Amino acid sequence: MNLRSLRLRLFVAATIAFAAALLLCGVLLTQLFERHVTRHCDAELQSYLRQLVSAVEFGPDGKVVLARQLQDPRFDEPLSGLYWQIEEDKTGLILSSRSLWDTHIPLPKDVVPAGQIDHHVLPGPQGAPVRVQERVIIFDLPSGSRTLRIAAAMSQSEITDASRAFAADLWPAIFLLGLVLLAATWFYIGVGLKPLETIRRSLSAVRAGASRRLEGDFPTEVVPLVEEANALLAAQDESLARARARAADLAHGLKTPLAVLQSDAERLRARGQDDIAEDMGQLAGQMRRHVERELARARLRGAAPSQATPLLPVVERLVGSLRRSPRGEALNWIVDVAPHLTVAADTEDLTELLGNLLDNARKWARGEIRITAEPVDPLLRIHVLDDGPGVPDAALVLLPERGTRLDETMPGTGLGLAIARDIAAACHGSLQVANRPGGGFSAVIELPAQARQLRHA
């Protein structure tokens, strides 16, 4: 379980809270129902007591009799759970319902005020507990007063069974209610976290270059976060612009001194001071390469987020330019790129990346350069192949490093492949170089492709 998920954390917290609340609610409802059933039973027993009191009569011989039987048939059913009993304190006379059979309820010998109802839970038939309502009635007769203890009782299992039956119906309902509440909670959490998804989509749009700022209708609570993010993006844009401007100023400031150094080196070489001229030329070349490399890196750091750029127009434009360059018109340029393929890269970055690779292939190819592209979800793989001599295997790992030149007789700074690698990495891609099995050199670029184009491929 990934508790780093905010949605899951909220759902787990809600589940625990609902479980505790519903458990407490179930216990309380069961207790309330038991109290309600108990009060109902007490009221029923009091009704039976009133009926018994009104039915008590004394015969000519002074014997206690009931003028009428109680209507509930359970009083006539042995061990039915509903009982009545009449005792006289002086004589110990016991008169009871048929349901008691051959047993009696041991009423306590405590003093109960006349007319007051007393409550007991006592052992009944077969030792089962019964709930008893007892009342002491004093009858004034010509022969003297008579005191009777009249009791009505009901088995305690009546209350227990009713409570259990209620609980058996209650807990499934509570469980179902809990599931409904959890489903509603999951929905509410989704609604509550929806602004975060909107922010994520806005950030994705900023990263893809479709927008420069977070845009959308955000809740009041999220607006401060969005404003801070937009302020941070604006500050970053300003900082990158200043950095690029400073790098450009530095490059322009160094361009003239470097040209002077190169000119001085040529003059020294003309005077026969070849060693000094060679040292000055190498130092000037190293400084120029460093400047060009840092300019390229500064431009990458300040570049706009990647956009969907069609690949074929960029390739055709570069091939058209290189065909008019030295050696380019004598080569056979083969372009095998589907028109619908696009890459998630800025047009200028893609142009510089492919331009460096194609220019390198132009320098070394003997007769043919082939450019192909194929979608490899979620990437687009671009091949730049030439039929040149290739490079020694030991030097392959050094080629993408800055300033690496395997042939000093060819013009260049040795930065082309290094800059291409940096651009590919900045676009979340990669560059791989290798010798072709049949001879020649291969450069393979993998860049993020647009999912829409891959579906059509």
Burial class of 119 by CB neighbour count within 10 A (0 to 12, 13 to 18, 19+): exposed
pLDDT at 169: 94
Dihedral pair phi/psi, residue 133, rounded to 5° = -110, 120
How confident is the model over 443-447, as a mean pLDDT?
Answer: 93
* CB atoms near residue 4 (< 10 Å): 7
pLDDT at 425: 86
pLDDT at 406: 43
Is it the case that residue 368 has pLDDT exceeding 90? yes
Lowest mean pLDDT among 130-134, 187-191, 243-247, 322-326: 243-247
Beta strands in 55-109 (DSSP E): 56-58, 64-66, 82-88, 94-96
Look at residues 347, 345, 322 and name the one whose alpha carbon lies nearest to residue 335: 322
- The pTM of this model reads 0.53
pLDDT at 386: 93
Q: At what angle do helices 6-55 and 156-208 cross, to 10 degrees?
A: 160
Dihedral pair phi/psi, residue 354, rounded to 5° = -70, -35
Q: How far is it, in rounded angstroms, from Cα 87 to Cα 81?
A: 20
Q: How far is it, in rounded angstroms, from Cα 435 to Cα 226?
A: 50
- pLDDT 10s digits, 351-365: 888 998 999 899 889
pLDDT at 289: 64
In sequence order, the β-bridge partners of residue 332 are 368
- pLDDT 10s digits, 79-104: 999 999 998 877 777 888 999 988 88
Q: At what angle do helices 347-364 and 416-426 cross, to 10 degrees?
A: 150
8-14: which pairs have CB atoms within 8 A and are 24 or more residues apart?
10/185, 10/189, 10/192, 11/182, 11/185, 11/186, 11/189, 14/182, 14/185, 14/189
Asked whether the beta carbons of 418 and 404 are under 8 A apart, the reply is: yes
**Ranges 55-69, 128-142, 169-183, 270-284, most confident:** 169-183
pLDDT at 349: 83
Is it the case that residue 453 has pLDDT exceeding 70? no
Tokens of 294: 């840092």
Look at residues 328, 326, 410 and name the one whose alpha carbon lies nearest to residue 367: 328
Q: Which residue has the higher pLDDT, 295 or 237?
A: 237
pLDDT at 404: 46
* CB atoms near residue 391 (< 10 Å): 18
How confident is the model over 150-173, as a mean pLDDT?
Answer: 93
**For the chain, how many residues are written?**
457
- In 138-222, alpha helices (H): 156-208
pLDDT at 152: 94
Residue 154's pLDDT band (boundaries 50, 70, 90)? very high
pLDDT at 395: 67
**C-alpha distances in Å from residue 151, one per residue of 134, 140, 174:** 4, 20, 40
Tell me how far apart the 2 most distant CA atoms of the chain are, in Å.
Answer: 163
How confident is the model over 435-441, as a mean pLDDT?
Answer: 87
Q: What is the tally of helices (H) and strands (E) in the chain?
A: 8, 14
What dihedral do alpha carbons 262, 268, 272, 275 form, nearest 10°?
-70
CA angle 145, 150, 153 (to 5 degrees): 175
pLDDT at 457: 35
Backbone φ/ψ region at 115: left (φ over 0), alpha (ψ -120 to 50), beta: left
DSSP 323-379: HTSTTTTTSEEEEE--TT-EEES-HHHHHHHHHHHHHHHHHH-SSEEEEEEEEETTE
Burial class of 356 by CB neighbour count within 10 A (0 to 12, 13 to 18, 19+): buried
How confident is the model over 221-235, as a mean pLDDT?
Answer: 86
- pLDDT 10s digits, 371-429: 999 998 889 999 999 999 888 777 676 665 544 444 444 444 446 677 888 888 888 88
Lowest mean pLDDT among 213-222, 346-355, 434-443: 213-222
Average pLDDT, rounded, for the chain = 83
Q: How far is it, in rounded angstroms, from Cα 147 to Cα 140?
A: 9
